[in-house]
Amino acid sequence: MIGPEIQEKAIEVIITMNSAIINLRLYPPTNALIMKTIDRLQDALGLILNESDALLFAESEKNLLIAGEPLSQKNRQRPQVAVFLMLMINWGIKSIAFKKGLGKDELSLLLEAMGKKPEDVRKGQGLERLIREGKMPHIQINQKIYIETAVDQELATSLEAKDKDVIEYITAEGAQTTLDPEKVRAMAKDPQWFSRIFQAGMQRLTDRDTAPSTINLSESMLQMLRTLDKISGDTDKKAISRLVAGSVLDMDTDFISALLTRNMEGLLDNHLFDQIVNRMNDEQFEQVAGQIRKWINHASTKEKAGGEPALQSIETAYRHIMSSDKGMALQQQIQERKVREEEERQQKTAHLRETGRYLLRKLEEEPLPDESTLKFLPEVAGALRAEGEAETAEAILEQLIGRLFSDQPDARAGASEPLAEILENLPPEQRTSALTKHLDKLLKWLKTETVPTDAFKIICLQMGSLAQGMLRDRRFSESIALLATFNFMISRQKEKEDPLRSAANETLRKVASADILDICLEELRFNRSGQRNDAGRTLILMAEYSINPLLDILRESQDRSERILILNLIPEMGPRVAPAVFERIDESEPWYYLRNMVRLMGRVGSEAHIKILVSILTHEDPRVQTESLKSINLIGGASRGSILLNALSECSDSLKASIVTSLGSMRNRDAVKPLMELFKSRVSLSEELKADLQEKICLALGSIGEKDALPFLTEVSRQVGVFGIGAHHPKVRAAAGRAMGMIKIKTS
């Protein structure tokens, strides 16, 4: 028993629900009034669910029950109760339960659905399916197939001990129960007794399994009815069937459908099947027929696939149902509905076609159509495609794309917004087709647009998705135009916070996902589809994201040709990958990997990176030293001369000759005196290498062309040694002579 206080709280829930449903027919779910009403409803339910695990509303004989009990006289007369009861009847809701743990999202979903017309929701998912799919786990609709009311409680308490024995017997719970057939038949002559026993048996079946499946419960009920039929003797089977059918029709349509497709032959003198079919209302009948038709289609599919469904009894039940008067009427209604729907479709299509043509004329004739026209375009274009009027929809698309090149920024922005929405609403395959068809124009627009809009960002991302699709399909060459466009947008000389460049950056980041990079790297390395060059080009265009995977391969690869391939590819990425290469320069790395990093730095680095290269000049491996000097020379810059002069005294003797040659080619005047001093200094080289170094010093002085070097070179060219040192190597004296000639020519 529930007290009057709980019943009053439940009435408050009803009133608030009515208010929310009515408001949802007038305002969107995000409206402040709606949200406030839902908050109030949740609070009202919370007061009850704090004291009870659930709140159950049920409809029985056009009356509203709360927690299985009828309302007080005062509450029955409230108009809000009548409205709520009518809502339940219109929706076919026999019971609705709110359970502890109920959230606001679930309430919002339920109320939004009930704010629509029942037929509109049934065309979609339906309330019960939404709940079955777990979207409203704390709300149950029609879950209780049998609802114990106050009348039922009185019924249960009035059962005699022998009645309880009968119930146990028919529900297969009393295997040892002994019944007196004569006494049972005598009691069964009363159809009301039969109905009471049947209802109590159903209650026992539902209580026995807290979540019985529809099929299992229908089988248990059928078995119970067959047992009752046997013990009922000569009772009026037609009257009994009428009473049982009334109870069955209070159940949900899935259960009714399952029961009718079981083998009911001979049951209650074959009256029950007809009673159920004939007493269903039109809505129930259509739902049951539709459900059984679905089962037939599903069973036929399984049968073709090698399954073994019980198809015969389902088909038999369907034939009997559809051959009844209601079935014939339903078929007539379905046929009339199809004709009506086709007429409506044709009228709708004609209206849409005319609307589309009207909008096209406005686009063609007006430089800047009004905002309402532009906002209406996506809806019309989508409807046209859905009705098979793709030609008009495509013409609208082309008109909008043409307007992207208007001299008026407002016109471009006005066209891009509906264009972005139209493309976004297309199914993925159709969107890909549309973008591919108009690719050249859209890429041109992305390159030339100067006004950032949300639509620009959306279309940019759509183009990025197109590029991803191409790369996943290994259409590398086709993706290059898109990637090149994003790179162009990123490289445009704009202010730091340029939204257009930011949109391109974000798009390129999404394109260069891990799986896309793996696809491109695989093709570059193994050339599986003969597209190595195009795959390499895509990696160059995604340089910021592909550089680190490439450097990883360069470090780990044992294939020399693969390493050379990557070493030739990375320099094409340019300065933007210099930071990634710079981070990899570590003297603790193996010499061969460090040499490769230094080599790359010379091709992508700037003067800012020379300092790290100078430190590598003193590396223990001469091959790394040589590569570092090459990279310094490649980078160049105003500070190169002073850097090399400083390094001349610190580097190994074996590297000095190369630095001398570099200073000579630079014609660095500051190097004259240090070079002459180096010539006279002691070096730890063989006589032959020392002669090579001295030869290069002389030639470098000649290249620089300073007169101050002439006395020094004159002394070197003599047979007698300089400053008491023995005679120089012939090639050194010859080099000094050539240098003197070079200086004289330059200074004459």
pLDDT tens, position by position, 478-508: 999 999 999 999 987 555 568 899 999 999 9
DSSP string of 481-542? HHHHHHHHHHHS---TT-HHHHHHHHHHHHHS-HHHHHHHHHHHHH-TTS-HHHHHHHHHHT
> Mean pLDDT over residues 271-299, rounded?
85
Domain limits for position 126: 4-141
Structure tokens, 442: 């859209």
**One domain, residues 234 and 110:** no
Continuous segment of H or E residues that includes residue 257: helix 253-260
Strand order across the beta sheet in which 139-141 lies: 69-70, 63-66, 54-60, 95-99, 139-141
Structure tokens that stand for 469 in this block: 């699709």
Q: Pairing mode, if any, of strands 139-141 and 63-66?
A: unpaired
What mean pLDDT do residues 305-317 have?
65
Q: Using 50, 70 and 90 to split pLDDT, how confident is the model at 453?
A: very high
- Over 50: is that where the pLDDT of 408 sits? yes
Q: Are residues 275 and 168 in the same domain?
A: yes
What pLDDT is stored for residue 719 in this prediction? 55
CA nearest neighbour of 572 among 597, 595, 549, 538: 538
Mean pLDDT of 400-410: 91
- Confidence (pLDDT) at 424: 92
Cα 379 → chain centroid: 23
How does the average pLDDT of the chain come out, rounded?
Answer: 82
Question: Do 214 and 137 share a structural domain?
Answer: no
Please state whether the predicted TM-score (pTM) of the whole model is above 0.75.
no
- Burial code (b: 16+ CB inside 10 Å, e: under 16) for 638-663 equals eebbebbbebbeebeeebbbbbbbbb
Written as six digits, the tokens of 265 are 């032959």
Determine the residue type at 51.
Answer: E
Of the ranges 8-22, 175-189, 619-633, the best mean pLDDT one: 619-633
- Assigned domain for 316 exists: yes
One domain for residues 98 and 223: no
- Considering only residues 224 and 532, tell me which one the structure prediction assigns the higher pLDDT: 532
Mean pLDDT across 622-636:
90
Indicate the residue among 106, 141, 176 that finishes a domain: 141
Residue 267 shares a structural domain with residue 200: yes
Residues 110, 230 within the same domain: no
Do 117 and 176 have their domain in common? Answer: no
Return the higher-pLDDT residue of 155 and 449: 449
Say yes or no to pLDDT of 226 above 50: yes
Residue 432 covered by a domain: no
- CA neighbor of 75 nearest in space, from 146, 4, 172: 4
Residue 58 bridge partners (DSSP): 65, 95
Q: Decide if 373 is inside a domain.
A: no
Structure confidence at residue 563 as a pLDDT band (50, 70, 90): very high
Q: Are residues 205 and 295 in the same domain?
A: yes
Residue 41 belongs to some domain of the structure: yes
- Mean pLDDT (whole number) for 535-554: 96
Are 690 and 735 contained in the same domain? yes
The whole-angstrom separation of Cα 386 and Cα 433 is: 16
Residue 95 has pLDDT above 60, yes or no: yes
Question: Do 127 and 201 sit in the same domain of this protein?
Answer: no
Residue 159 pLDDT class (50, 70, 90 cuts): very low
- Residue 65 belongs to some domain of the structure: yes
Q: What pLDDT sits at residue 234?
A: 65
Distance CA 259, CA 213 (A): 12
Most confident of 334-343, 522-531, 733-742: 522-531
Which of 305, 323, 341 is the last residue before a domain boundary? Answer: 323
Q: Which residue has the higher pLDDT, 43 or 470?
A: 470
- pLDDT at position 417 is 92
Same domain, 189 and 285: yes
**How far, in Å, CA of 290 to CA of 254, rounded?**
10
Give residue 86's pLDDT band: very low, low, confident or very high (50, 70, 90). confident
Phi, psi (5° rounding) for residue 573?
A: -75, -25
Which token pair is 461?
């991302």
Does the pLDDT at position 147 exceed 50?
Answer: no
Q: Helices 150-158 and 191-208 meet at what angle, rounded to 10? A: 110
In a domain, 542, yes or no: no
Residue 112 phi/psi, 5-degree rounding, is -60, -40
Question: 145 falls in which pLDDT band (50, 70, 90)?
Answer: very low
Task: Residue 279: name the closest of 306, 313, 304, 256 by CA.
Answer: 256
On whether the CB atoms of residues 631 and 605 are closer than 8 A, the answer is yes
Question: Does residue 460 sit within a domain?
Answer: no
Of the segments 279-293, 374-388, 539-553, which one has the largest average pLDDT value? 539-553
Q: Is the pLDDT of residue 269 over 90?
A: no
Under the banding of pLDDT at 50, 70 and 90, the label for residue 18 is confident
Sort 745 into a burial class: Cβ within 10 Å, 0-12 / 13-18 / 19+.
exposed
pLDDT digits (tens, 9 = 90+) for 571-604: 999 999 999 999 999 888 899 999 999 999 999 9
Asked if the structure places residue 618 within a domain, the reply is: no
- For 268-277, 287-296, 418-427, 490-499, which range has the lowest pLDDT when averaged over its residues? 490-499
Domain end point (choices 304, 323, 342)? 323
Count how many domains the chain has.
3
Look up residue 415 and give its two tokens: 């066209």
pLDDT over threshold 90, residue 519: yes
pLDDT of residue 87: 80
Q: What is the pLDDT of residue 532?
A: 95
Beta bridge partners of 70: 65
Instruction: Determine how many CB atoms are found less than 10 A away from the CB of residue 200.
Output: 22
Pair 167, 208 in one domain: yes
Instruction: Provide, for the chain, the percentages of residues in helix, strand and coil under a 3-state DSSP scheme, each rounded to the nearest 5.
Output: 75, 5, 25
pLDDT band for 682, please (50, 70, 90 cuts). Answer: confident
